[in-house]
Structure 1
Amino acid sequence: MISVTDLGLPAMSLMTWILALLPIVVILVLMLALNVSGGRSGIISWVLTAAIIYFVFGGGIDVIAAGTVKGLWSTLFVLFIIWSAMYMYNLVNICGAFEVIAAKFTEMTNGNKILQILILGWCFPTFVQGVCGFGVPVAVATPLLIGLGFDPLVSCITTLLGHSWGVTFGSLGSSYSILVSQSPVDTLYPGLTAFWGSIFIAFGGLIVGFCILHNYGARSMKNVGKAFKEGTLAVAFLSAVMGIAMIATCMVSPYVGCFVAGAAGLIAGVLVLPRLPMYKPAEGAEVGESTSWEKFFKNFSAYLILIVVVFAVYLIAPVKSALEADIFKIGLAFPENALAANEMGIQFVNAATKKYSALKIFTTPGTLIVVSSLLAAVCYKSFGLLPKGALGESMNRTIKQSIGATTTIIPMTMMAILMTEGGLTQYIAYGLAAVAGNFYPILAPFIGILGGFVTSSGTSSNILFTGLQYSAAEVLNISPAIILSQQTTGSSLSNSFSPGNCALGTGVSNQVGREGEILAATGVYNMIQGALVGILGYVLISMGLGL
């Protein structure tokens, strides 16, 4: 296994490892235990990270400055999504569309709230994640659930959980592409990573379904037992449908696995589940007056337009290529920087880049949401649904609602990027790998979770740790395919627990200041998910499976 000194980092020691982990511990203690705001917690952890890089890891002012500016730049992408999603929500709300959407969806689901939250909080985000990730499923589905009458905190936690499991095979397979490109497994055994990866991801989806059910039962129904009694069949059915769809699709084309799984879940959830005896309305029960499909589609048109716009841009290759031409990309140039040479004379180097994290002007999710909102306004006006001054009022509300999220996301992203720039994230992961031994499969998903937590990105986590995970599997003589599947599953599931995604969720749900509550909930779920994925991997490897 490659050692940290080979990477140019300090020699492994318990004290240095604890110091590398300290910024994460501090931000969690501040937010979860002391209820300090995400913004203040992020600033404190950023200062601590900078100090550790300078005094312990040998990083100069250039490393700290580059990591900080990269963090600031990266926030623009996330903030654009938050502001645009909030604008669409406010526009739809001002037009009174949510009342009609809620009425029709209540009718379609026989008034069953568990079916509603599973379909719109799990299947729908999975469907959107299949084509356009980057937080868009959370930004779109959370306000939709709130508009249907669900508690904002429950809605935020639900969509964070609901979209997370599909990340690897979502966004047209961006995370999966990194996984297979940075290891030789698929060169030797074509399709093996997709096979085992889809199995672990499907297993993760099953766990996610029950986490959503538990969250709704505990917070909204105040009766977890009743929630499980009423919702277990629905979770089992939807997870089977989406899981089988994903596994089958990944055998043909992993790049659309999440999209097909989400579509299958939506169809099964809307057309099949409400017809089952358990979910039919009781005799004489009131589910509200019938709403015509024409009226529903007119009011739901904003979200239909968004789906069409996203699919047109991301699925039509010539359109996407033209809109993503280099001339339409904006990014900051950064020179190479490095930590001081370690005892072996090796430096940890961050390569120079001409356009760091380039913002693709015409295909970035924020742009697509803005375009969809403007087209929706045109449609609403033609339908007679757009009140006078609605566009301006939507903007006024958006500004007031989004300021808190903005001040939260900026310092948290700065801290996260700086940890990676200074080598702290990599140091933590290599320390875990060094002590795991034969129990490495149990810890493997937690390395993926670490990467996702710090970077708020399954793709970035796979970039960071695919090499480490493959190397560990080779040294321990265990299945690289299973270990890499655990890596990417942990990376995916951690999207519900990362502070960046949490801040995005609180921003679009107008729950800024409650990040600690959300992380406390999703953190527990994420640890359970990681443990179960780890145990599954350990059992499969113990049985000699995986190659």
Structure 2
Amino acid sequence: MDIESFINLTLTNWILAAIPLFLLLVLMLTGKVSVPLAAIASYFLCLLIAIVWFGADSSLIVIASLKGISLSVFVLAIIWASVFLYNIVNHAGAMKAMGQHLLKTTSDKMLHGLLLGWCFSGFIQGVTGFGVPVAVVVPLLVIAGVAPIPATVAALIGHSWAVTFGSLGSSYYSIQLVTGIEQSVLGPTMAVMFILPILMTGFAVAVIVGGKDAMMKASGIIVAVGSAMAFVSWGVTVVGAPQLASTVAGLFGCAVMWIWIRGISHGSSAPGASTNEVPTPQEAVEPNISFHRAFSPYYLVVGLTTLVQIPWIKDYLATFSWGVDYPGTVTSLGWEVSSVDQYAALELFTHPATLIVMAALFTLPLFRSSIGSFGGMVRSAVRKTYQQSSSSTIAVVFMVAMTLVMQHSGMIGVIAGGLALGSGSIFPMISPFIGLLGAFMTGSNTNSNVMFGALQVETARVIGANIVVVASSQSIGGSLGSAVTPAKVLLGTTLIGIPGSEGNILRKGLMYCIPMVMIVGIQTVVATRLL
């Protein structure tokens, strides 16, 4: 995708292309209708505009919608598996036990928020991604005393710093491949530009969980841990292992935070030592399950994910995959999408959902004394998973289908191209917002980078801006924007049983996400003028 693709852009085209997205946002943010209904309405409006104005025909609509269903299955499998695991662990009493252990360490929920919602979520994102950090961290924050909505927002915002270098580098490699920038240049530059986002997400989590006063008292540890994670991330990219940057940085942050919390629990005086103590009845109860046994399913998720990344194992298991081949499409206006084989292929033994379900089933014997009949427990978990996930399933299918129709009809290209060409010399300020747009629409920073990475670099060349800085800005914007993707929001609300709260969570998430992306835009402007 290059700048010439958008030479016939008009304001009318841009407005019409943006209307379905605008409708979806308005309906979700106002909460006037359910999320599934908002998704359905936006999808059918998108079809109308694509056919009448952007030259889509019936075959394009069918192909794009079917591709949307294929991609939805990939995403929904993770949601279903995560909810299933949660129901198993919760029924066994392991969630309650984890909460009791956490509260024995410290009753400061803000410190729990930083450890779990910021550092630990970043580590999990580094290894797995695909919504798993939200699935793991949100329930833990709730049992640590954080209210459900702040817990969900904290996990969403808190893990977003780790997305680009997370999932073992999938988003990073996508931007590197589509732009052709040398890894030795792009990785370290991007890591330096991530210093501010790492710190900002830490401060945001502290405010979300503990309030502004608590954040101020804990500013020292946030700066210390955030700087350490940023330095480690940069160091890992310098030595040529960007795929491990988030994993190692998140693990290092967890270690520093744990030492800090242990120091506080032994009477050390430090910022955050006395903020937001929340006594609960759990504090007086001795856990009947050890923390490591209670947490064992999540250990196994991380362990299995790491195991299947070993090259010879990964290559062998990759042969067990299933996907659908789709033909190419072209609109009457000439917008073309190439054919694709094995689209959104499900690698049966390496897909996150498979690993999550395996972890749930393999750890059942550890909870034998708590769950009674294995068969009854599994049936109960499946039934609850269906009840909790049915609404979000409808919403995800129609949202993703709408996105694919917009992509195949050229509507997303028009939106991004309009932002790029309309911004002129201030394009670097807009650059991270294009990344955010792509992540919001597709639910993936990787997809955002594939869609808009080349466009960003081509635009930077036209206006004479530093292409490495702009490419980094694209992925950073998508990384932060992944915090407000509807699929992840739905995952959080589904897990902890607060359906109907999606609009509230999205509003709160955007309150933090937009200013952070704006600051990244300012950083990009400054960097392009200095470099």
* TM-score range for the pair, normalised by the shorter chain length: over 0.9
- Could you tell me whether the CA contact under 8 Å between 1:81 and 1:139 is conserved in 2? no
Query: Which of 282, 300, 317 in structure 1 is aligned with 2:311?
Result: 317
**3-state SS of the aligned residue for 2:324?**
strand
Shift of 1:257: 0.4
Deviates more, 1:437-446 or 1:97-106: 97-106
Partner in structure 2 of residue 221 of structure 1: none
Partner in structure 1 of residue 88 of structure 2: 91
Instruction: Give the Cα separation in 2 of the matches to 1:292 and 1:380.
Output: 14
Instruction: Give the Cα separation in 1 of the matches to 2:186 and 2:234.
Output: 12
Shift of 1:298: 2.0
Partner in structure 2 of residue 301 of structure 1: 296
Query: Which of 259, 267, 270 in structure 1 is aligned with 2:247?
Result: 259
Instruction: Give the Cα separation in 2 of the matches to 1:500 and 1:390.
Output: 27
1:389-468 aligned at under 5 Å gives the runs 389-468=376-455
Instruction: State the one-letter code of the partner of 2:260.
Output: V
Shift of 1:273: 4.2
The alpha-carbon distance between structure 1 residues 147 and 84, as it changes in their structure 2 partners (threshold 3 A), is farther
- Could you tell me whether the CA contact under 8 Å between 1:130 and 1:262 is conserved in 2? yes
Question: Is 1:125 aligned to residue 121 of structure 2?
Answer: yes
1:135-534 aligned at under 5 Å gives the runs 135-186=131-182, 191-217=184-210, 224-252=211-239, 253-275=241-263, 276-278=268-270, 279-280=272-273, 288=283, 295-314=290-309, 316-325=310-319, 328-341=320-333, 347-381=334-368, 384-388=369-373, 389-534=376-521
Shift of 1:291: 5.9
The alpha-carbon distance between structure 1 residues 321 and 114, as it changes in their structure 2 partners (threshold 3 A), is same
Deviates more, 1:284-293 or 1:252-261: 284-293
Partner in structure 2 of residue 220 of structure 1: none
Instruction: Give the Cα separation in 1 of the matches to 2:389 and 2:148.
Output: 15
Instruction: Give the Cα separation in 2 of the matches to 1:185 and 1:355.
Output: 27
Shift of 1:505: 2.2
**3-state SS of the aligned residue for 1:191?**
helix
**3-state SS of the aligned residue for 1:88?**
helix
Instruction: Give the Cα separation in 2 of the matches to 1:177 and 1:401.
Output: 35
Q: Deviations over 1:5-30 (max 9, x none)?
A: x43x6821111100111111111111
Unaligned runs of 5+ in 1: 218-223, 342-346
**3-state SS of the aligned residue for 2:342?**
strand
Instruction: Give the Cα separation in 1 of the matches to 2:400 and 2:305.
Output: 26
Q: How many residues align?
A: 520
Instruction: Give the Cα separation in 2 of the matches to 1:448 and 1:511.
Output: 29
Cα RMSD between the aligned structures? Answer: 2.2
| TM-score, normalisation: structure 2 | 0.93
**3-state SS of the aligned residue for 1:358?**
strand
Partner in structure 1 of residue 44 of structure 2: 47
Instruction: State the one-letter code of the partner of 1:157.
Output: V
Instruction: Give the Cα separation in 2 of the matches to 1:428 and 1:451.
Output: 10
| TM-score, normalisation: structure 1 | 0.90
Shift of 1:512: 2.2
- Could you tell me whether the CA contact under 8 Å between 2:126 and 2:250 is conserved in 1? yes
Q: Deviations over 1:328-370 (max 9, x none)?
A: 11111211111114xxxxx221111221111111111111000
Instruction: State the one-letter code of the partner of 1:203.
Output: L
Instruction: Give the Cα separation in 2 of the matches to 1:472 and 1:281.
Output: 50
Q: Deviations over 1:488-541 (max 9, x none)?
A: 100111101122222222222222222111111112222101110010111122
The alpha-carbon distance between structure 1 residues 34 and 156, as it changes in their structure 2 partners (threshold 3 A), is closer
Q: Deviations over 1:36-81 (max 9, x none)?
A: 2211111111111111111111111111111111111211112211
Shift of 1:285: 11
The alpha-carbon distance between structure 1 residues 396 and 149, as it changes in their structure 2 partners (threshold 3 A), is farther
Instruction: State the one-letter code of the partner of 2:250.
Output: G
Q: Deviations over 1:450-497 (max 9, x none)?
A: 111111100100001111111111111121111111001001111011
Deviates more, 1:438-447 or 1:405-414: 405-414
- Could you tell me whether the CA contact under 8 Å between 2:337 and 2:408 is conserved in 1? yes
Instruction: State the one-letter code of the partner of 2:111.
Output: L
Instruction: Give the Cα separation in 2 of the matches to 1:402 and 1:285.
Output: 31
Instruction: Give the Cα separation in 1 of the matches to 2:212 and 2:480.
Output: 25
